Amino acid sequence: MSFPITRHRRLRGTAGIRGMVRETVLNVLDFIQPIFVTYGTGVKNEIGSMPGVYHFSLDTLKAEVDEIASLGIPAVLLFGIPETKDAIGSSGFAEDGIVQEATRLIKQWYPELLVVADTCLCEFTDHGHCGMVHTHTVDGVVHGDVINDASLELLTRTAVSQARAGADIIAPSNMMDGFVQAIRSGLDENGFEHVPIMSYSVKYASAFYGPFREAADSAPQFGNRKTYQMDPANLREAIREADSDVLEGADMLMVKPALAYLDVIRTIRDQFDLPLVAYNVSGEYSMVKAAAQQGWIDEQAVVLEMLTGMKRAGADIIITYFAKDAARWLRG
Ligand code: PBG
């Protein structure tokens, strides 16, 4: 009788030995919890397509932030739903805008908790695009596209107002060309040279953002985002995007979404040395929630497996709506 030469099962026999040879370990210090803030009082409304995720008004926000901080999660990512929207998204860069107000409060409550500000205009524009648009109407149908360079100026104002309110990290998600350079100069000119930029370098035009657009009320009113967000089919282009962000002064790179783009995460990790962020987006969250509610999957096991996969693919940091749950589960 012949025996197998190699017995891989020797290192799988007990929890103790599996733990000892484990290559990838999730850590609560890697998580960023997104939060949606809105106007009003006493608001804590669950988002229909994202069970367990809420809109908070400034007066209900404290309890949520208390919980995040007590779990040891080091950072939050803020999204704002403004009272009014207009063509240029001016409530996105108002000194008393909802994100700015929430930032000031959180920094007052928890000076050590990192506030990451998503720098984009789609939540604040009435047309739902990520910058200023040119439109024309043909047979009653509106067509239009985002004007790159004019939008850079508005996005820079947004980033500077977020930094002024106390944001620790600026995370531009708008996918205009030159946005890192524009925002870096704006921050530097205004005395925020120490504030890092976490660039959404590689952001695909993805159907996985669907639930977020309900949550942020930011679905484009005409057209789509394919003229500025990337084609899901492209990988080499991701390297070009990341390359220009590095040259323009980005401090961290991001790949978004995560689950269907693990090869992109791996490629960016192998080609660049900057800290790499994976965004486990809204649609990835909602799919898991829906299947778990049906009793079709084990939510905890699936979530930890997904997050481990993102880290194994090369992500250092994960933005996830599961951050609080995962932090709890990791504590055992
Ligand atoms: C803003 C922005 C979006 C997301 C993060 N920042 C939406 C979009 O580009 O349409 C998506 C996040 C998610 O789906 O969880 N531009």
ipTM confidence: 0.96
**pLDDT at 20 exceeding the cut of 90:** yes
pLDDT bin (cut points 50, 70, 90) of residue 140 is: confident
Answer whether 118 contacts ligand 1 (Cβ < 6 A). yes
Q: Is residue 243 part of a domain?
A: yes
Q: Is residue 246 part of a domain?
A: yes
pLDDT bin (cut points 50, 70, 90) of residue 301 is: very high
The whole-number pLDDT of residue 117 equals: 98
Q: Is residue 164 part of a domain?
A: yes
Q: Is residue 95 part of a domain?
A: yes
Q: Is residue 8 part of a domain?
A: no
Per-residue pLDDT, averaged over 162-172, amounts to 98
Per-residue pLDDT, averaged over 122-133, amounts to 94
Taking CA atoms only, the protein residue closest to ligand 1 atom 7 is 209
Question: What does the mean pLDDT of the chain come to?
Answer: 97
pLDDT bin (cut points 50, 70, 90) of residue 243 is: very high
Atom of ligand 1 nearest to the CA of 229: 9
Q: Is residue 13 part of a domain?
A: no
| Coil, helix or strand at residue 1 | coil
Answer whether 130 contacts ligand 1 (Cβ < 6 A). yes
Answer whether 77 contacts ligand 1 (Cβ < 6 A). no
The whole-number pLDDT of residue 121 equals: 95
End-to-end distance of the chain based on CA atoms, in angstroms? Answer: 45
Per-residue pLDDT, averaged over 294-320, amounts to 98
Out of 173, 259, 282, give the residue to mutate to test ligand 1, the one with the largest number of ligand atoms within 8 Å of its CB: 173
Query: CA torsion 228→276→261→37, rounded to 10°?
Result: -60
Per-residue pLDDT, averaged over 217-236, amounts to 94
Q: Is residue 3 part of a domain?
A: no
Nearest alpha-carbon partner for 204 in 236, 179, 224, 228? 228
Per-residue pLDDT, averaged over 228-238, amounts to 97
**pLDDT at 136 exceeding the cut of 90:** no
Least confident residue range of 1-5, 66-70, 302-306: 1-5
How many CA within 13 A on the CB side of residue 255? 30
Where residue 269 sits, what CATH number does that domain have?
Answer: 3.20.20.70
**pLDDT at 74 exceeding the cut of 90:** yes
Domain region containing 208: 24-331
> Residues of the chain with pLDDT > 70: what percent?
100
Q: Is residue 9 part of a domain?
A: no
The whole-number pLDDT of residue 143 equals: 82
Answer whether 288 contacts ligand 1 (Cβ < 6 A). no
* Catalytic site positions: 203, 256
The whole-number pLDDT of residue 135 equals: 84
Q: According to the 3-state scheme, what is the secondary structure of 8-47?
A: HHHHHCCHHHHHHCCCCCCCHHHEEEEEEEECCCCCEEEE
Please tell me the total count of domains within the chain.
1
The whole-number pLDDT of residue 1 equals: 82
The whole-number pLDDT of residue 142 equals: 84
pLDDT, tens digit, for every residue of 169-193?
Answer: 999 999 999 999 999 999 999 999 9
Least confident residue range of 90-99, 211-220, 230-239, 285-294: 211-220
Least confident residue range of 21-30, 143-152, 265-274: 143-152
